[in-house]
Amino acid sequence: MNKAVFLDRDGVINRELGHYCEKVEDFEILADVGKAIKVLKDAGFIVIVISNQGGIAKGLYTEADVNAMHNKLHDYLIEYGADIDDFYFCPHHDSISKCLCRKPNSLMIEKAMSVYDINPAQSYMIGDGKRDIEAAERAGIKGILIESNTGILEICNQIASE
């Protein structure tokens, strides 16, 4: 079985704007994200992004916009010799339609755990919201709550050294 670190996106990987990140131009990758993901990859972790993207359901942006942001992250990570193994995002919003994948539900994490044969006992979720930690707990992995836009390098160093 594999070990993994699941990362929330907005506020953990890119700057939380206080509103939906609708355009790739507004997708600002936080300092040291490349180094942090490289540390995890070098320690043998699968790294997967788990993100609610309810702005899609609200018609504020499209799945193509989200994929363009993820491509920007991919291009940035090349400089560090790192990459994200996969992206899971929920395009739904409770005000439009209920679903099972939107955090704090754990379906996105559970799907990734099945696809990548992930051992929950060796896996983590880093998020900046209560719903991230609830989703982690429901999936049986350790949740690590951080303050939005603070950086994850130190936490990733700690995880890699365990």
Catalytic residues: 8, 10
Collect all residues with Cβ–Cβ distance below 8 Å to 37 and sequence separation of at least 6.
Answer: 47, 77, 80, 82, 83, 84, 156
What is each CA distance from 85 to 56, 92, 116, 150, 154, in whole angstroms?
A: 23, 23, 10, 23, 21
| Number of Cα atoms under 13 Å in the Cβ half of residue 28 | 10
**Helix/strand/coil for 136:** helix
Q: Which pair of tokens denotes residue 92? A: 């739904």
Instruction: Answer whether 160's CB lies under 8 Å from 40's CB.
Output: yes
Report the candidate in 82, 137, 146, 129 with the shortest Cα–Cα distance to residue 109.
Answer: 137
